Structure 1
Amino acid sequence: MKLKLVAAVVVAVVVASSVVYYRAGATSTEPRLLTATVTRGPVVETVEATGTVEPVDTVEVGSQVTGTLKTLAADFNDIVKRGQVIATLDPASLEAQLQQAEASVRRLEAEVESARVQVKDAEQKQARAEALARDQLLAASDLDSARITTEVSRAALKSVEAQLVQARASLEQSRVNLGHTIITAPVDGIVLSRDVEVGQTVTASLETPTLFVIARDLGTMQVNASVDEADIGRVQVGQPVRFHVDAYGDDEFGGTVSQVHLQPIVEQNVVSYTTEIKVPNTGLKLKPGMTATVSIEVARDDDALRVPTAALRFNPSAEVLAAFGKQKSPSAQSSAASNAIVQPASLSRSSGERQEDEERSSTTASSRAAVWRLDDGGVERVPVELGVGDGTSSAIVGGRLEEGAEVVVGQPSVAAGAATGGSSGSPLLPSFPRRGGRGAPRGG
């Protein structure tokens, strides 16, 4: 009796399997749909940009006088203190100039003394001439001559005194120039670059030559990111930033937007704006000049009802609606033309015309966005209102869509369907390819 029962069960299973295989084969020509689940989770909208890691503050150290570099007391990566000697120039020529200036000052000081004596002598002669003229013992012409001699002497004194002032100024400049042969660090910091060698001639003309570049502090760096003009309106001071550099692979660094430059940068008709991002450089891993791939967080929803962006782009064909459109009662069929599921007026137009309509009304696209939800074996169009989007998922802030719902994200390609051999029994489920293939995407 037991053997007969087992045999009957085996026969029933074989028959049922045959029926399922037959039905699967019969429906293999029907369209298939890829679905994803509506979930809750964070959605972060970002603006992408690239930039360069730079020190927050750098100082270029140059030479204010021309000379030959005599010594170097600092090199790459050296830590220096304010006032520390980092290089010297050969002072020989400037010392000679100083001696010449000192000699010129001493000579002019002597000439001033001589001029003063001459003025005093001329004034005394003029006084005697005036006394004699009062007694009518001296001709008027001789009195005029004495007076002129006095005026000339005084003018000569003023001229020599002016030359002395100029010579003293030249002397002071010579002393300053001699002092400039000793080059010191203007700030505390670290030497980033050294652009000279011992024995090299440094020429100070209209532009001061750069000998060293010193960074004040590498503990805090900044990324100068170039943000496209289409995105700059959403970037504000204080927004958090995440970025990567090639040197550290998947390591992620954080920072904050500190300034957005108003001056545009135009390259090949592309307009961008420099955005400064302050970055703590713990461990001094970041080095000047590194290229950074930046993501600036412009909006965030930590508990969003989210759907894949592909679900918002899905637009069912007439074939899909015919296979999965929800059946209507006779009383409801008269209003099918305005029904949100079928929309025969929209389907009668080409896909290009529908896309053109969407572009013309892009300003209200978020209020008219929709997804197609699986419901009782069919698909139903559900209008939704969009919030934050990150390119992969979008937040739903309004509409009749709940967590856990299944939404359609697309259809498998013909090649993928052929690879499955039509073995799936339900056209609503994704086809599972053979070994080496990919399954359907799931939301999450």
Structure 2
Amino acid sequence: MAAAAAVVALGLVSWRHFTRPAAPHYVTQKVDRGDIVHSIIATGTVNPVLTIIVGTYVSGVIQQQYCDFNTRVSKGQLCAKIDPRPYQTLVDQARAELDNARAQLGKDRAALVYAKSAFERSTTLLQHGIMSQDAADNARSAYDQARAQVAVDAAAIEQRSAALRTAEVNLGYTNIVSPVDGTVVSRNVTIGQTVAASFQTPTLFLIAADLTQMQVDTNVSESDIGGLHENTEATFTVEAFPKRQFAGRVMQVRQAPQTVQNVVTYDVVISARNADLSLKPGMTATARIVIETRRRVLRVPDQALRFNPSGLPAQPQVAAGSARVWVERNDHLVAVTVTTGLDDDSYSEITSGDVREGDAVVIAETTASARATSVAAPRLRM
């Protein structure tokens, strides 16, 4: 009976040992000093800094095309030509009408000379009683009408001159020229195509003024826009060169909001050099904009700020701007309230609190099976 009782007692002790919950183990990381870079990520499109739309003021048929995609053009260079014959006809017609108006002016000036002479003669004859008052009045009226006609002819010449200049300008518009030095990035016209400029100017060419200087037009959410300023450093990548990082700076933070499905964003323009022309218009870019950098600050992993040991009663809330970390000290876990500063999504700056460089802060809790990567469970100190 004694032996049986001993066996039962030994079994009970073994059962309690193996069924007892495993003590937790804690993964820690040292508090250290390092750099914290607070940045935001935004996507956007690579575009030339200045893109010029080349259109046409007149309608007609494209007679010649001198520029194509990627053509390097100079200011004033002829890129295309609209059939000029209808507009040349209008110029010839306007010039003929101007010549006719000038001839009419010459004719009416001669009539004015005659009317003036007749008026002066009638005045003399009236003074000598040789001509009646009625005849003298007719001579004066004819003279006044002749002077008025000359004035009308002069105005007609100005009108015909303006019409001629308009026709010549329209004739000049049949030459489609580049307004700047640059590169043709888009061509929307071919020889024989009819272009109509009745209501809206058609786009014939898109010319990038300088492809060695590009910009990335990004959309930044309203929650991140507060810390952004012009001249802030930025980097970005494009899918064509995933391992290459392009450097840039924030050139403009635009004030106009963009609202899509109740999400408010703002346009942030990043300028970048493109000396080797690797960046192409329209590329999708992922930009990282540095908001603030702090060097050699006391920092803890963000995991430490989120950790709470299991099996403890709910802890009181900490004040805004503060957080709680669990520090291993003398085989005990001590809850320490700290004030946090800058955060880069991996580390947070510690601006105040009883935490020193080299302290071990808990970042995770493991089971007994994970002892190879954890530390023995210290006792909790509240």
What is the CA distance between 1:371 and its match in structure 2? 0.8
Q: CA deviation at 1:23?
A: 12
State the AA in 2 paired with 1:386.
T
1:400 aligns with 2:349: no
Q: Does 1:34 align with 2:23?
A: no
| CA 25–286 in structure 1, closer or farther in 2 if over 3 Å, else same | farther
* Greater percentage in helix: 1
**Which of 269, 284, 291 in structure 1 is aligned with 2:284?**
291
Instruction: Tell me by how many angstroms 1:274 deviates.
Output: 1.0
* Residue pair 1:28, 1:422 contacting (<8 A) in 2 also: no
Q: Does 1:67 align with 2:60?
A: yes
SS class of match (2:247): strand
Distance 1:172 1:425 in 2: 90
**Structure 2 gap segments, 5+ residues each:** 1-13
> Which of 112, 125, 129 is equivalent to 1:132?
125
Over the matched positions of the two proteins, sequence identity in percent amounts to 38
The reply on whether 1:259 has 2:252 as its aligned counterpart is yes
- Per the TM alignment, residue 22 of structure 1 is displaced from its structure 2 partner at its CA by 11
Deviations 1:393-425 (A, max 9, x none): 11222222223322112324xxxx49x398999
Matched, 1:411 2:360: no
Q: Cα offset for 1:112?
A: 0.5
CA distance in 2, matches of 1:27, 1:251: 55
Matches within 5 A, 1:319-330: 319=311, 321=312
Secondary structure at 1:315 match in 2: coil
Matches of 1:230 and 1:97, distance apart in 2: 61
Match of 1:387 among 341, 352, 370: 341
Runs of 4+ aligned structure 1 residues displaced above 6 Å come to 21-24, 421-425
Amino acid at match of 1:99: D
* CA deviation vs aligned residue, 1:76-111 (integer Å, no higher than 9, x gap): 111111222111111111111111111111111111
Residue range with higher mean Cα deviation, 34-43 or 371-380: 34-43
Q: TM-score, normalised by structure 1?
A: 0.77
- Whether the 8 Å contact between 2:76 and 2:180 is mirrored in structure 1 is yes
Query: How far 1:37 moved relative to its partner?
Result: 2.4
Tell me, yes or no, if the aligned pair for 1:47 and 1:231 is still in contact at 8 Å. Answer: yes
C-alpha contact 2:27 2:375 (8 A) present in aligned 1: no
Paired with 2:161 and 2:66, the residues of 1 have a C-alpha distance of 33
The letter for the 2-side match of 1:383 is: T
Query: What is the SS of the residue equivalent to 1:411?
Result: strand
Shift of 1:208: 2.3
Looking at structure 2, the residues matched to 293 and 299 of structure 1 have their Cα atoms a distance apart, in angstroms, of 19
- Listed as ranges, the matches of 1:2-401 within 5 Å are 28-317=21-310, 319=311, 321=312, 347=315, 365-366=320-321, 368-401=322-355
Equivalent position SS for 1:250: strand
Cα RMSD (Å) of the superposition? Answer: 2.5
Task: Give the distance between the partners of 1:78 and 1:144, measured in 2 at CA.
Answer: 75
- Give yes or no for contact 1:25–1:423 (8 Å, CA) kept in 2: no
Letter in 2 for 1:102: R
